[in-house]
Homo-oligomer: A and B are copies of this chain.
Amino acid sequence: MKTYRKEIWFDTPHRRDFINITSQVEQCLAESGVKEGLCLVNAMHITASVFINDDESGLHHDFEVWLEKLAPEKPYSQYRHNNSREGCCAGEDNADAHLKRTIMGREVVVAITKGKLDFGPWEQIFYGEFDGRRKKRVLVKIIGE
């Protein structure tokens, strides 16, 4: 069995962003030499997401509006996480980012067949950032042969 691991780093200029990382994952797959197996791609941070959907800017706008409706950023005071004084969370304002990432998902698992990501016609992998303007990363782990 072969295994492969790589981190992909981000530092988005905005609080929220969607970034197509399909070609970077394909490059990982090429480097791995795996022809048949599984590819896990997950956010390593709990206010970010990895998901599969369409690379269409209108849809990404719809996601932004929809997530703000389901889990609004403001007022910050509506979330106890933002008012907590314990440990990591003193002075946080990112409770909504934890909720938005929960909707969008932490990870995807993609089949590898004949050395390719085994995708349907419109499937693309995205990094979803919900609390950006800092360095964060995604893990790519591949197993197979």
Contact = CB atoms under 8 A, between A and B. Distances in A.
A130 to B, nearest CB: 13
B46 A141 contact: no
Task: Classify chain A: how many residues form its interface, as a range.
Answer: 35 or more
Given A103-B103, A108-B106, A57 B84 contact: yes
A120 B137 contact: yes
B111 A109 contact: no
A18 interface: no
Interface in A1-29: 1, 3, 5
A51 B70 CA distance: 19
B102 A103 contact: yes
Nearest to A36: B3
Contacts of A58: 79-84, 86, 89, 95
A57 B66 CA distance: 26
A34 to B, nearest CB: 10
Nearest to A71: B66
